[in-house]
């Protein structure tokens, strides 16, 4: 069971992240339309500031480099996490009648 305090802590982490990088967050995945670069999450929509989040994965001595479906799965998860967490919080509160 997730306590009300746990929900509040999750929402605080989401709020802090969105204070730094407001939505929309957009994923750019090299396995779905390669541009010759790295997969990343644009944290500022189409802003000229280019606030971008890149994920480096090292598995032992191996580095996952774009295009790599494993890397893109992680980038896609991170890129959608803010919206997913918001929706999940709303649904938990709705189910609890909060």
Q: How far apart are CA 45 and CA 23, in angstroms?
A: 7
Query: What is the pLDDT, as a whole number, of residue 50?
Result: 85
* Domain housing 55: 4-95
Read off the pLDDT of residues 51-64 as tens digits, 9 standing for 90 and up: 999 999 999 999 99
Number of domains forming the structure of the chain? 1
Read off the pLDDT of residues 13-37 as tens digits, 9 standing for 90 and up: 999 999 999 999 999 999 998 777 8
Residue 48 has pLDDT above 80, yes or no: no
Average pLDDT, the chain: 93
Write down the pTM of the prediction.
0.88
CA atoms within 13 A on the CB side of 55: 25
């Amino acid at each position: 069971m997730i306590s009300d305090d746990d929900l509040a802590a999750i929402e605080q982490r989401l709020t802090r992240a969105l204070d730094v990088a407001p939505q929309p967050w957009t994923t750019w995945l090299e396995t779905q339309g390669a541009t010759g670069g790295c997969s990343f999450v644009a944290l500022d929509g189409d802003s000229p500031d280019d606030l971008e989040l890149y994920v480096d994965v090292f598995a032992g001595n191996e580095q996952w480099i774009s295009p790599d479906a494993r890397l893109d799965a992680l980038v896609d998860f991170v890129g959608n996490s803010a919206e997913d967490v918001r929706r999940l919080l709303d649904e938990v509160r709705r189910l609890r009648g909060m």
